[in-house]
Structure 1
């Protein structure tokens, strides 16, 4: 089967897809790659848990802020050049992280990485959906699901090995040649597959989306330091919500919106996006908290903590393409319901782990949980896109991704802050350290364990909510309409 780009030139689909997946893998890997590295980085830079959280939250924040403008970039510029530019930006950020000699430079490098990743994530989804025919879009999401599932899940394993075998800089150093390879392959295999049109950039919308989304994300990011009742948190979130509402209202009024929010009228797009966002809260935040539990409570090394999560990562990787094929045959509703049921049942037991919990038990539990994730995460995205026509793929991709990124940032901030606040509230008075050091150490340990319990149970609550929402999915893929709309660009 021959495939042609928007200029009529033929291209090979397999290397095109592989190049996109490799680029997406590098981008997604960096969302959780620092989870296992947190204790090492905290010691190296002499900073606390609330500060180190910014390496993850800041990355997600900057990435999310780039997503809205990606719609205009995708509609305005050649997708091949845009993909290459995003990968170059990511490479520059990775180089900055690799050579960082203080925490500020490391954080700056993470933000630069995120600027590239924020464009690449929705762009990759748009390019894959534009290249695949409607009846095979489940397979497209299954392939992307390998990356979206494997990369964040394998991050702790990779990070743990790099730290124990080399040092923390290797986390970024090993990614550098992969990024260079992706850029070189992009010049050869990536093609321009999305139609462009000369739409005018609405700067007011850009400002409103940046300040609105940024305010919300910043507010949740400072919770760990400032607390839930602080003026910083309340003011940032209230202002962010207000500006986001203004942004939405403006998109409904102007002729060329930055993001076409009207697509939320499509039932499955809205439901699929909500489910995917809630799953991201449970997944990304969980990937940050669990490695900390394994190292601090169970006393595992960085590499041991990473390897403990490897089985779950591989489970998700192998399940994702199978889920994509099943999705095309049976529809998304049953898959998502079944997947979310497994995720919920697999997450709840983490809230009852102890300092003596078997590592084998945790590995199996995590693998089962990730099996459910694979059945729910990418199908929820495919269900969302099945309601759209190719004309609004870029808008749908951006809205879906910004929702997931915002959810991931908020989820990470909430889980980490809940852990920190619970631990702090239950910690003994420092005077006990002088009177009875052994009792002080025991109470501190119990406070830490309670903090993890609350964080894990909160993640369980999120997955439970997504499970009930999944019953609202409709199996009503408009395949014939999509075939007609996409036939001119794919074959």
Structure 2
């Protein structure tokens, strides 16, 4: 298909489209899915008692969720070329609704785990579709604001999730974490059915089964291996072999994508320098972010002896401010471009992480709140502007592949970051307690946390260096033609 035909068809597809209802449908779905993800973690102690299971077993509720998304997201680029926007999004939300019902009704742990897997299928389908739809229906000069609205929802869910979950757990049964989500998910399905329109191009490329198998083994092995390492030991044979097999699978997957005529994940997106730069920067930044998102709750509950509810309240102001900042940074991005936001944002992130290296058992809650706010203000200045910059350089036919690449690598970064920083913390704690046998467990934990934050700071420096090279990019020619048409 030539460029002019592509542009003409895109123009016809988008004629008379109403962006407001489409964005509203996407936002409602994203909020429901992301809110539920952050609700459950705080209920793990109650679930361990309810089902009489160990911490290693309960972690499967989180590990399986990440694993399914890590396997599914790479395939979404192919799925978006076979099925319409409506079909993809409605299928995602119906799966999520079904999984939520299964979780709420679970009499045994195994059924609860199945419900989480079904929920993950829905979330894995929805997030890339949401980003791709925004890219298609908004011209480059307006995407920052639209992405900012999505960012508000993505960050507001985690901000209120732990606090809301703590309140529900204190007053009601853990099943209400799912019961309360069911009507929200059902409303999202009904709203999307009424207002969401198809905006994608259905090309139905050839399905390469070998690529799907290699993607599943590769990304699934890496996500599972690093998740398992975060729970136990890096020398565990299961960890070593799954990471090794996953790495081989990814290498073979990449080679396969470069050889086949219609790849399921088109790596030609990396021919665009700004997309490549942003992808590497986001990979590094997500690892640094996980150093704080995983470790701070441990510090608050173990070292400062806060309840889950109070820890959630402590982290809530930063999350809310981050959510409010997301649309603001989106508008500033549309007006001034990425560099004036990304570089100061990364500096704020590094400042917060550096100051976290000096925490102690005497650190006050107010100090943690302040640093957390600084961190998340910085993140809000970086995340959406950087991703939008990278995706803006891609031609329309690569949008599904670009969003799939970014989402996949963020899942991988999450798994690696969690395992890396938990292991650094554990090693640092063990070394401190060996050298100071009379120290309290809380002091040992703090020493391990300081080591982890320090490594997070140095990894973040890589992101800052990359941030100096980011700049506004012009839209590809076919997109310019679309807008003129």
Same fold (TM over 0.5): yes
Q: Is 1:296 aligned with 2:299?
A: no
Distance between the aligned counterparts of 1:385 and 1:342, measured in 2? 24
Does 2:325 match 1:319? yes
Listed as ranges, the matches of 1:480-491 within 5 Å are 482-485=479-482
Match of 2:470 among 466, 469, 473: 473
Deviation track 1:326-364 (CA, whole Å, cap 9, x = no partner) reads 111211122111111101111222232222211111111
Q: For residues 487 and 154 of structure 1, do their structure 2 counterparts lie closer, same or farther at Cα, with a shift above 3 Å needed?
A: farther
Decide which of 138, 145, 158 is 1:139's aligned counterpart.
145
Unaligned runs of 5+ in 2: 1-9
CA 282–43 in structure 1, closer or farther in 2 if over 3 Å, else same: farther
- Distance 1:125-1:450 versus aligned 2 partners, 3 A rule: same
Report the Cα distance in structure 2 between the residues aligned to 1:121 and 1:470, rounded to whole angstroms: 25
What does residue 7 of structure 2 align with? none
Mean Cα deviation higher: 50-59 or 189-198 = 50-59
- Superposition pairs for residues 140-155 of structure 1, below 5 Å? 140-155=146-161
* 1:173 pairs with 2:179: yes
Equivalent residues in 2 for 1:188-227, closer than 5 Å: 188-227=194-233
Deviations 1:384-431 (A, max 9, x none): 1111111111111111111111111221232334334544565679xx
1:116 maps to 2:122 = yes
Other-structure match for 1:359: 365
From the superposition, tell whether residues 486 and 397 of structure 1 become closer, same or farther in structure 2 (CA, over 3 Å): farther
| 1:259 counterpart SS class | coil
- 8 Å Cα contact 2:231/2:419 also seen in 1: no
Distance 2:244 2:420 in 1: 17
Match of 2:379 among 370, 373, 387: 373
The normalised TM-score by structure 1 is: 0.90
- Is contact 2:11–2:482 with CA below 8 Å preserved after alignment? no
After TM superposition, give the deviation of residue 475 of structure 1 in Å: 2.7
Against the structure 1 CA distance between its residues 224 and 263, is the aligned structure 2 distance closer, same or farther, given a 3 Å change threshold?
closer
SS in 2 for 1:33: helix
Match of 1:98 in 2: 104
Give, in angstroms, the shift of residue 20 of structure 1: 0.2
Aligned to 1:447: 444
Structure 1 residues 103 and 80, CA gap change in structure 2 (3 angstroms)? same
- C-alpha displacement of 1:100: 2.8
Question: Do the aligned partners of 1:79 and 1:193 also contact (CA within 8 Å) in 2?
Answer: yes
Matched, 1:459 2:456: yes
Q: Structure 1 residues 147, 182: CA separation in 2 closer, same or farther (over 3 Å shift)?
A: same
2:70 aligned with 1:64: yes
Counterparts of 1:455 and 1:43, CA distance in 2: 30
CA contact (8 A) 1:130 1:486 kept: no
Structure 1 residue 236: Cα displacement: 1.6
1:393 aligns with 2:399: yes
Counterparts of 1:267-278 in structure 2 under 5 Å?
267-278=273-284
Listed one character per residue, the Cα deviations across residues 166-218 of structure 1 (whole Å, up to 9, x for unaligned) are 23322222221111110000111110011111211111000000000011112
**Distance in 2, Cα, partners of 1:440 & 1:95:** 49
Residue range with higher mean Cα deviation, 263-272 or 217-226: 217-226
Verify the 8 A CA contact 1:209 1:247 in the aligned structure 2.
yes
Specify the SS of the correspondent of 2:362: coil
Aligned residues: 476
C-alpha spacing 1:11/1:58, structure 2 compared with 1 (3 Å): same
Q: Distance in 1 between matches of 2:240 and 2:330?
A: 41
2: CA distance, partners of 1:175 / 1:199: 36
What is the distance in 1 between the residues matched to 2:228 and 2:181?
Answer: 29
Aligned partners of 2:385 and 2:360: how far apart in 1? 34
Q: Tell me how far 1:109 sits from its aligned partner.
A: 2.0
Most deviating of 88-97 and 453-462: 453-462
For the residues of structure 2 that align with 1:239 and 1:375, how far apart are their CA atoms?
37
The answer (yes or no) to whether the contact 2:70–2:223 under 8 Å persists in 1 is no
- 2:3 paired residue number: none
Deviation for aligned residue 1:157: 2.2
The 3 A distance-change label for structure 1 pair 418 and 112 is farther
Q: Which residue of 1 aligns with 2:80?
A: 74
SS at match of 2:468: helix
Contact 1:161 1:306 survives alignment (8 Å): no
